[in-house]
Amino acid sequence: MKDILIGGLKEMGLTPPEGAVDKLCQYAQLLLEQNQVMNLTAITDPTDVARLHFLDSAAILTWQDPKTGRSGLQGKSAVDVGTGAGFPGMVLKILEPSLSLTLVDSLGKRVTWLEKVCEELSLDGVRCFHGRAEELALEKDFRDGFDVAVSRAVASFPLLCELCLPYVRPGGVFLAMKSVESTAETDGGAEAVKRLGGKALPYFDYPIPGADVTHRLVPVEKVAPTPKGLPRSWGKIKKTPL
């Protein structure tokens, strides 16, 4: 696993900080151990964990903001909505320790496990919240409060926008992790993006080193504060997408 990570990160043009690769290996071990007693991941082969969880998550750090021409999350605040076993959030924090990270998931058991992992890996500056994304986003500290929101494998794009964009401060960005087959799905979210104060930015397709797949980041810039009344309850989000 270590070699795959070192080689893969290098191929992606990323230089991990001292000790980060060892931390990722330790995280993988904790994940696979706990996965025996709790449903955390369907991917259990260590090579696949390295590529499809870790390198995939790390790709966020290679995205270049067209406004600034810069990539990376140095010194930024980010929320990972529906983080599950910590993807992509935990990987980003390990590779960019200056990131101030908030993890949100509606499944309490996963959040409790993530808190323990943060302790074991001595990660500072990570807050873990058990709750529904659309409810937490109504709270003052969360609403329009983050530089970046990220999310992978949580909901279809229009629904995901309502769960995630409310967290982003104007000027910040929401990065949705999607497949390259998601074009129709993301096109269908144009109205949601607009209503939530967002503006679509060009897709970023990236290959995952060593895996025969290309994945996609769908970036949305936040250009205006979240309008009153949004996000709605999950029932409404699902029944009548924006």
Q: Which residues bind ligand SAH (CB under 6 A)?
A: 82-85, 87, 104-107, 110, 132-134, 152-154, 163, 234
- Judged by beta carbon, residue 56 or residue 147, the one nearer ligand SAH is 56
- Judged by beta carbon, residue 106 or residue 226, the one nearer ligand SAH is 106
The distance of closest approach from Cβ of residue 19 to ligand SAH in the complex, given in angstroms and rounded to an integer, is 24
The distance of closest approach from Cβ of residue 74 to ligand SAH in the complex, given in angstroms and rounded to an integer, is 22
Report CA Rg, the chain.
Answer: 17
C-alpha to C-alpha distance for 228 and 84, rounded to whole angstroms: 28
- Judged by beta carbon, residue 19 or residue 44, the one nearer ligand SAH is 44
- Judged by beta carbon, residue 106 or residue 186, the one nearer ligand SAH is 106
Measured from the Cβ of residue 124, the count of other Cβ atoms closer than 10 Å reads: 9
C-alpha to C-alpha distance for 206 and 155, rounded to whole angstroms: 21
Question: In this chain, which residue has its C-beta nearest to ligand SAH?
Answer: 84
- Judged by beta carbon, residue 20 or residue 154, the one nearer ligand SAH is 154
- Judged by beta carbon, residue 37 or residue 70, the one nearer ligand SAH is 37
The distance of closest approach from Cβ of residue 66 to ligand SAH in the complex, given in angstroms and rounded to an integer, is 25
The distance of closest approach from Cβ of residue 71 to ligand SAH in the complex, given in angstroms and rounded to an integer, is 21
The distance of closest approach from Cβ of residue 72 to ligand SAH in the complex, given in angstroms and rounded to an integer, is 20
The distance of closest approach from Cβ of residue 125 to ligand SAH in the complex, given in angstroms and rounded to an integer, is 20
